[in-house]
């Protein structure tokens, strides 16, 4: 429940539109609501600016749907994001909210109820190759649902560096850049050397055997000589976008 929602609740009691007993019932589950299999953190948006994000992998469709249903009851304007989800989870969530949308490539489900832009600039999501797009799209959808303007720049890896250099103007317009790459993970260093803004590097598990499922890209990015590059975990498009959203609100 956001601060505005708490104020609305208190004003409703003061004006007589809501009884004290009803207000107590609403507040009883703050700061979290225990569903037995999950403790839903309703204060996350109040503390961090965005509601708890549901990680779909490892949860049953019924569990994900129940968490989403609980969150929907608490705040009528809060967007809901579910990551690492499949079709079965979407079917269950769709029964809870007709507004649910499934982006299969990214494995993301969104329930968008607020389109307010809170970010101050553009977050540019750059992918090295087409195979990196699923992780890049997870970052794009996360940044968008968190209230940011997002630009995509895909398939501009170092094997054909002229493709990237053709878009230098777009890169310089961005306030934060998310750079997604597998293989040897060289692209963030190149991008970082072209711009003066933070570059959040996302290593992907794309590559042949010696890429070790993204470890080679991760180590390459951690050793970047571009000092404005920082790194998140392998395939973690969500984490990169969450941090980018925080930076974009500063």
CA distances from residue 71 to 35, 53, 75, 130 in whole angstroms, order as listed = 12, 10, 7, 35
Interatomic CA distance for residues 110 and 208, integer angstroms: 33
Which has the closest alpha carbon to 203: 226, 223, 232? Answer: 232
The answer to whether the bond into 31 is cis (omega within 30° of 0) is yes
pLDDT of residue 30: 66
For the residues of 230-248, what is the DSSP string, one character each? EE--TT-HHHHHHHHHHHH
Interatomic CA distance for residues 86 and 98, integer angstroms: 17
Q: Residue 127, exposed/middle/buried by CB under 10 A (0-12, 13-18, 19+)?
A: buried
Q: For residue 99, is pLDDT > 60?
A: yes
For the residues of 165-214, what is the DSSP string, one character each? HTTHHHHHH-SEEEEEE-TT--HHHHHHTT-SS-EEEEE-S-S-GGGGGG
pLDDT band for position 1 (50/70/90)? very low
**Mean pLDDT for the chain?**
91
Average pLDDT over every residue of 137-162 = 95
Interatomic CA distance for residues 248 and 250, integer angstroms: 6
| Residue 123: strand, helix, or coil | strand
Q: For residue 29, is pLDDT > 60?
A: no
Residue 82 neighbours by CB under 8 Å, 6+ apart: 53, 54, 55, 56, 64, 68, 89, 93, 108, 109, 110
pLDDT of residue 4: 57
Give the domain ranges of the chain: 3-111, 122-249
Asked which of 44-53, 74-83, 219-228 is least confident by mean pLDDT, the reply is 44-53
Q: List, for residues 181-235, the tens digit of each pLDDT value.
A: 999 999 999 999 999 999 999 999 999 999 999 999 999 999 999 999 999 999 9
Asked which of 21-25, 137-141, 201-205, 223-227 is least confident by mean pLDDT, the reply is 21-25
* Burial track 49-84 (b if 16+ CB lie within 10 A, e otherwise): ebbbbbebeebebebbbbbbbbbbebbeebbbbbbb
Interatomic CA distance for residues 186 and 192, integer angstroms: 10
pLDDT of residue 45: 76
Q: List, for residues 119-132, the tens digit of each pLDDT value.
A: 999 999 999 999 99
Q: For residue 57, is pLDDT > 90?
A: yes
pLDDT of residue 155: 95
Which architecture does CATH list for 122-249?
3-Layer(aba) Sandwich (3.40)
Prediction pTM value: 0.85
């Amino acid at each position: 429940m956001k601060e505005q929602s708490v104020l609305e609740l208190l004003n409703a009691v003061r004006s007589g539109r809501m009884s004290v007993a009803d207000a107590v019932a609403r507040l009883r589950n703050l700061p979290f609501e225990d569903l037995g299999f999950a403790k839903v953190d309703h204060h996350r948006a109040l503390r961090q600016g965005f509601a708890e994000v549901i990680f779909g992998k490892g949860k049953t469709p019924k569990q994900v749907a129940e968490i989403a249903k609980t969150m929907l009851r608490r705040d009528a304007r809060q967007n809901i994001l579910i990551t690492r989800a499949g079709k079965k989870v979407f079917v269950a969530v769709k029964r809870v909210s007709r507004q649910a949308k499934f982006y299969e490539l990214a494995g993301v489900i969104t329930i968008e109820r607020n389109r307010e832009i809170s970010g101050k600039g553009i977050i540019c999501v750059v992918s090295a190759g087409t195979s990196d797009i699923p992780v890049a799209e997870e970052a794009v959808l996360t940044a968008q649902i968190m209230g940011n303007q997002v630009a995509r720049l895909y398939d501009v890896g170092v094997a054909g560096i002229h493709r990237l250099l053709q878009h230098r103007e777009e890169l310089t317009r961005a306030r934060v850049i998310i750079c997604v790459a597998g293989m040897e993970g060289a692209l963030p260093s190149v991008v970082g050397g072209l711009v003066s803004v933070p570059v959040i590097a996302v290593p992907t598990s794309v590559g042949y055997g010696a890429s070790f499922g993204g470890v080679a890209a991760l180590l390459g990015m951690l050793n970047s000589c571009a000092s404005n590059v920082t790194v998140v975990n392998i395939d973690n498009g969500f984490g990169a976008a969450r941090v980018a959203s925080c930076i974009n609100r500063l």
